[in-house]
Amino acid sequence: MKLSLEGLKDTKAWQEAGISLPSYDVAQIQERTRKAPKWLHFGIGNIFRIFIGGIADTLLSGGSMDTGIVCAEAFDYDIVDKIYKPYDNLALGITLYKDGRMDKKVIGSLAEAVKAKPDDADSWERLKTIFTDPGLQMVSFTITEKGYSLTKTDGTYLGYVQSDMEKGPEAPVGIMAIVAAMLLERYRRGAAPLTLVSMDNCSHNGDLLRKSVLTIAKEWKKRGYAEEGFISYLQDPEKISFPWSMIDKITPRPGDFVQKELQAEGVEDMEIVVTDRRTYIAPFVNAEGPQYLVIEDRFPNGRPELEKAGVYMTDRETVNKAERMKVTACLNPIHTALAPYGRLLKYEYFADLMEDPQLKTLARNLGYGEGLPKVVDPGIFSPKAFLDEVLTERMPNKYLGDTNARICTDSSQGVGVRFGETIKAYVAEQGTAEQLEAIPLALAGWLRYFYGIDDEGEAFELSPDPLAEELQAIVKQVPLGHPEALKDQLRPVLSNAGIFGIDLYEAGVGSKIETLFKEEIAGYGAVRETLKKHLGN
């Protein structure tokens, strides 16, 4: 069987393989979407295809939508060429359960794939056509935290961002400038309303998206590339809205064992691809079953009936509570704390960390001990029940095959939200966060990770991170095995409110992190000994 529009016609073979097919006419949906796009998405990798694509698939199956999603990629164009086009924009969604079961289905909602690439004239014009269609209701994003970033840690603009500001909207490079350029086109061709929904793990992600787009737009206005009316258009919530959201679904890299099973069942061409941009992707996506998406219901040009596919449509306050619950306490901090230790202790898979006595204790101390007490119940689901599910069902799921290397990716972009917000909550309520133990231990391990040398003295490759080179240079000023060499080398990092949202020394935890860091660099084996000392045997 081939994953293609033609291949789907052999329904009996797919059924015998236990793979569900779309109940709607995929070719017809693709044609309707090309003619009248309503939903465009940037960042078309794994979590998008199985989660957001799965939402659209559910709505199409139930008759609540009659068009699919236009899939736009502004970073890794290989995804379009190697994963979308060869498979007629179809995807295989594989849900992995803790007991080893797999649920398999073909997702047909990904109607069109477009490169957001100015030097590809046809693709660029097609993107403009889609973006300026007055019927377009929503543009959503899963581009990771770094996709919204415009500046370095010292506050100066990143080189490509500065170039985008100076050169204007004709040939932007960065995703935020690309979006600003498309919005400028929409403004000049009728100024129809539109909603831009960030679905990334960023605190107040809608505001982050809005700020980045507006910053570029205002710089263009200064240079004569855009008019004042465009700025007013972006700032009018009845025209352009930037709702907040919270998203949650653990979606690891495609698994070799999933590929082998699909091939054994007769599905052809299921090879895993590693792009030049180091994206791990395949014609299939494997993920856990649990998923949460909470969106602030502000859509000035209308929207799909997302609630019919399990999306919580609510107000900003509820989104904020749900987001803080997940990102700052009940899931992301545990991932970000344990994964670096996993690399240091030679664990490849995250699920194995949940059987390590010290790391399991660290996870519980972070979640139940320090995070949960500062969480406000969002009212739509229980924070404790959410955390219980995370620690007993989701993170121990070995079949996810989620690697510590993947989770460490771009960690510098998330530590401020994942730990800084809880630290600030303690400071706000008690004047200091010096009573914290688990978070300082997490951050000490995070810094120790940037040596790229594990607890046995063997080198490993750091995961991609925009600050990896800078952070590695800082920690290596203190040689491993020489904790006495630590003076104030870490201060530029731990005092940097641009990273953590607060000066950690003023919060009462900076010195504590330094002390733990010194213990962990005392020699080989010191990481494990430090964990035992502070978490028990």
* Per-residue pLDDT at 153 exceeds 80: no
Q: For the packed helices 121-131 and 175-188, what is the interaxial angle rounded to 10 degrees?
A: 60
Q: Are 180 and 122 in contact (CB under 8 A)?
A: no
Q: Which two tokens stand for residue 402?
A: 């989620």
> Which residues, other chains included, contact 444 with Cβ-Cβ below 8 Å and sequence gap of 6+?
513, 516, 517, 519, 520, 530
Tens digits of per-residue pLDDT, 473-522? 999 999 999 999 999 999 999 999 989 999 999 999 999 999 999 999 99
- The percent of residues in the chain predicted with pLDDT above 90, rounded, is 95
Say whether pLDDT at 201 is over 90. Answer: no
pLDDT for residue 210:
98
The whole-number pLDDT of residue 498 equals 86
* Separation CA 111–CA 90 (nearest Å): 8
Q: Is the pLDDT at 155 greater than 90, yes or no?
A: no
Residue with tokens 């670096």: 340
Residues 6+ apart with CB under 8 A from 149: 158, 212, 413, 466
| Mean pLDDT on 439-456 | 98
SS3 463: coil
Strands 292-296 and 245-248 come out as antiparallel
**Percent of the chain with pLDDT strictly greater than 70:** 100
Q: In the numeric block, which tokens belong to residue 438?
A: 């688990």
CB atoms within 10 A of CB 404: 24
What does the alpha-carbon distance between residue 390 and residue 392 come to, in Å, rounded to a whole number? 6
| Sheet of 292-296, strand order | 245-248, 292-296, 312-314
Task: Read off the pLDDT band of 169 (50, 70, 90).
Answer: very high
Structure tokens that stand for 14 in this block? 């797919």
Q: For residue 145, what pLDDT band results from cuts at 50, 70 and 90? A: confident
Can you tell me the mean pLDDT for 151-158?
87
pTM over 0.75: yes
- What confidence score (pLDDT) does residue 375 get? 93
CA distances from 40 to 53, 91, 216, 236 (A): 11, 17, 21, 21
In contact, 19 and 283? CB cutoff 8 Å: no
Say how far apart CA 535 and CA 537 lie, in whole Å.
7
Q: Say which residue the tokens 């607890």 belong to.
A: 455
The closest alpha carbon to 108, from 19, 197, 183, belongs to 19
Q: Tell me the C-alpha distance between 287 and 397, whole Å.
A: 10
Q: In what order do the strands lie in the sheet with 19-20?
A: 19-20, 102-107, 91-96, 284-287
Cβ–Cβ contacts within 10 Å for residue 537, how many? Answer: 7
Which residue from 245, 60, 220, 228 is spatially nearest to 139, judged by alpha carbons?
A: 245
Cα separation, 182 vs 66, in Å, equals 25
Report, as an integer, the average pLDDT of 110-134.
97
pLDDT given at position 131 = 97
pLDDT tens digits for range 294-309:
999 999 999 999 999 9
- Summarize the confidence of residues 281-289 as an average pLDDT: 97
Contacts of 183 (CB under 8 A, 6+ apart): 131, 194, 213, 217, 230, 233, 234, 240
- State which H helix or E strand residue 92 sits in: strand 91-96
Structure tokens belonging to residue 147: 């996709």
Q: Is the pLDDT of residue 152 over 90?
A: no
Q: Mean of the per-residue pLDDT values for the chain?
A: 96
Going 513 to 519 to 523 to 529, the CA torsion angle's sign is negative
CB 94 within 8 A of CB 102: yes
Amino acid letter at 482? H
- Under the banding of pLDDT at 50, 70 and 90, the label for residue 456 is very high
pLDDT at 146: 87
Written as one string, the DSSP assignment of 226-254 is S-HHHHHHHH-TTTEE---EEEE----SP
Cβ–Cβ under 8 Å, residues 89 and 101: no
Residue pLDDT, tens place only, 343-394:
999 999 999 999 999 999 999 999 999 999 999 999 999 999 999 999 999 9
Closest C-alpha among 163, 246, 243, 165 to residue 199? 246
Q: Edge-to-edge strand order for the sheet containing 138-141?
A: 110-115, 69-73, 39-42, 138-141, 194-198, 240-241
| pLDDT value at 173 more than 90 | yes
- 2-32 tens-digit pLDDT: 999 999 999 999 999 999 999 999 999 999 9
The pLDDT of residue 190 is 98
The answer to whether residue 202 scores a pLDDT higher than 90 is: no
DSSP 8-state secondary structure symbol assigned to residue 19: E
Which residues, including other chains, have CB under 8 Å from residue 178's CB and lie 6 or more apart? Answer: 74, 116, 118, 172
